[in-house]
Amino acid sequence: MTRLTASDVVAGYGAVEILHGVSVEAGDGEVTCIFGPNGCGKSTLLGAIAGTVDVWAGEIDLDGEKLTGRPAHAVLRSGLALMPQGGGIFPQLSVRENLRVGGHTLADRHLLEERIGELVAEFPRLGERMSVMAGNLSGGEQMMLAIARALIVKPRFILFDEPSAGLSPKLAAEALDRVAVLAGRGVGVLMVEQNIREALRVADRIYVLVGGRNRFAGRPEDIANGRQLMEIYLGAAAEGHDTNREGEMK
Ligand SMILES: Nc1ncnc2c1ncn2[C@@H]1O[C@H](COP(=O)(O)OP(=O)(O)OP(=O)(O)O)[C@@H](O)[C@H]1O
Ligand SMILES: [Mg+2]
C-alpha cells in the first residue's frame, strides 16, 4: 500500500507565506481531489510535494520515505510525478521529444524508448503525431501528451494539476476517465480540479483548501452538488468537517 502524506505544510514565495500548515493524505488505487478558490494555494501544495516549491515547515512522506526538501528530480526518482498546471509541455519540441524529456531521469535509453512505445499503444492518437511540434497539437492532444509525459517513468504516485482545464466537456470527461483508470491500476492520484461535477464523479476522497488552510475533508457522497461545495468555499457548510480533527480521514 502506497501512501502519500503531507503534514502541516508551510510554504510560499519570497517572504510571502501561502500555505499556513496544510495537511492531506492520499492512498494508492484512489483519486484524491483538492478543490478550492483561485489563489488558495492548490498548485503551491502540489509543487511543495513534488519539490518545485520550497517547504518552509512540515513534512512530506511517501511510504515512510521523507521527501521534504528533496529537489524535483529526486522526488521523481522516488516514484512521484507531477503534471503541472497547463501541462508544462514544450510547444517547440515534438511529441517524441516531449516524452523523452519526461523520461530524462531514466538511466537506460532502451528502457526510455520501450516506455514511449508502451505509451503510444495506450495513447494511439499521440503515436500518429510523434513528429508534430507539441504547440501544433489540439488542446485535447496537448493534455493527453502532458498526462502521457508524466507517466513515462511509471510513477507510483502522480499529482495532476487541473487535467481537464481548457477542454471541451467531452474531452474533460475523457481526461478524468484516464485519471480514474490510472487509479484503478493501483497508482496513487492526488489531483487539483476546478471541474467540480466531473471531478466528484471520479474522486474517492476530497479536500477543500481556502486561503492556504484546510477547510474540508470528506468523500464525494458528503457533497450534494457543486453548489454545496461553493458554500464550503465560503465557509457556510464547513462546520464539523475540520480536517485537523484526529482520525477524520481514517
Ligand atoms: N511563483 C510565484 N511567485 C510568487 N507568488 C506566487 C507564485 N506562484 C503563485 N503565487 C501566489 O501564491 C498564491 C497561491 O497560488 P497557487 O497557484 O498555489 O493557487 P491555486 O489555488 O493553484 O490557484 P488557481 O486555482 O488559480 O490555479 C497566489 O496568491 C499566487 O499569486
Ligand atoms: Mg493552480
- The string of pLDDT tens digits covering residues 11-33 is 999 999 999 999 999 999 999 99
Query: Which pLDDT does position 179 carry in this prediction?
Result: 94
Q: What is the pLDDT of residues 57-102, one digit of tens each?
A: 999 999 999 999 999 999 999 999 999 999 999 999 999 999 999 8
Q: Which residues are placed with Cβ below 5 angstroms of ligand 2, an ion?
A: 42-43, 85
**Which residue ranges of the chain lie beneath pLDDT 70?**
236-250
- Cα 131 to averaged position of ligand 2 atoms, centre (Å): 30
- Cα 187 to averaged position of ligand 2 atoms, centre (Å): 22
Q: 11 to each of 7, 16, 19, how far by Cα in Å?
A: 12, 9, 5
The number of beta carbons lying within 10 Å of the beta carbon of residue 211 is 14
Query: Which pLDDT does position 245 carry in this prediction?
Result: 38
Query: Which pLDDT does position 129 carry in this prediction?
Result: 95
CB 80 within 8 A of CB 158: yes
Query: Which pLDDT does position 225 carry in this prediction?
Result: 78
Cell, residue 141: 492532444
Domain edges within the chain: 3-79+155-233
- Cα 111 to averaged position of ligand 2 atoms, centre (Å): 33
Please report the atom of ligand 1 found closest to the CA of residue 36: 21
Closest by CA to 215, choosing from 239, 246, 247, is 239
- Note the pTM of the prediction, 2 decimals: 0.92
Query: Which pLDDT does position 242 carry in this prediction?
Result: 43
Query: Which pLDDT does position 236 carry in this prediction?
Result: 55
CATH number of 3-79+155-233: 3.40.50.300
Report the sign of the C-alpha dihedral through residues 38, 36, 28, 178, in that order.
negative
Q: How far apart are CA 16 and CA 6, in angstroms?
A: 20
The number of the ligand nearest the C-alpha atom of 9 reads 1
